[in-house]
Amino acid sequence: MILSDKTIKEMIGSGKLTVEPIEESSIQPASIDCRLGDHFLLIDENRMDCLSMTSEIQYRSLQCEEITLPPHSFLLATTMEYVELPAGLTAFVEGRSSIGRMGLFIQNAGWVDPGFKGRITLELYNANSLPIKLEVGRRICQLVFCKMDCEASRPYSGKYQGQKTTEGSRIFEDRESSEG
């Protein structure tokens, strides 16, 4: 079940759901708009010859009020909002339609597990042939909350728990099963 604005407001008011900072205008009929934060990561192409799932990726960190994303380029960003989901609630991260119509894709895994605490890292891709200027504080994506049939028996406690800034991939920390 997708939560309505009324339920979202009630859950925030009671402390069951945390989204901070929150503005009244950010709460939409069935979602919360999240704004672009001021921390960005770019893959450091000068320190690596290729990306691998078994090696740590090298990034360049930037903190600024605006950044220009060149055509056909990739950038990691974060939301201004810090989120804490209870064990019985999950969220989808969706790009805003107005942003997508500019050719900016929010290539997020799209899922926030129950129990997650932190800022949301966004994978941004400029599919346009022109650069796109991104400004901190602008609404960039939305969170759509879904109530689960029951609380998760093992809420999220993974490697991205508690992130306060943009976090790069930590896939190299995964322990893959050798069984097919």
Catalytic residue ranges = 123
d(CA 94, CA 99): 11
d(CA 117, CA 32): 16
From start to end of 58-169, where are the E strands? 59-63, 66-69, 74-84, 89-95, 104-106, 111-112, 117-126, 132-135, 139-147
- Which of 45, 37, 36, 38 lies closest to 62, judged by CA? 38
In this structure, what token pair is assigned to residue 11? 């859950």
| Residue whose structure tokens are 């380029």 | 73
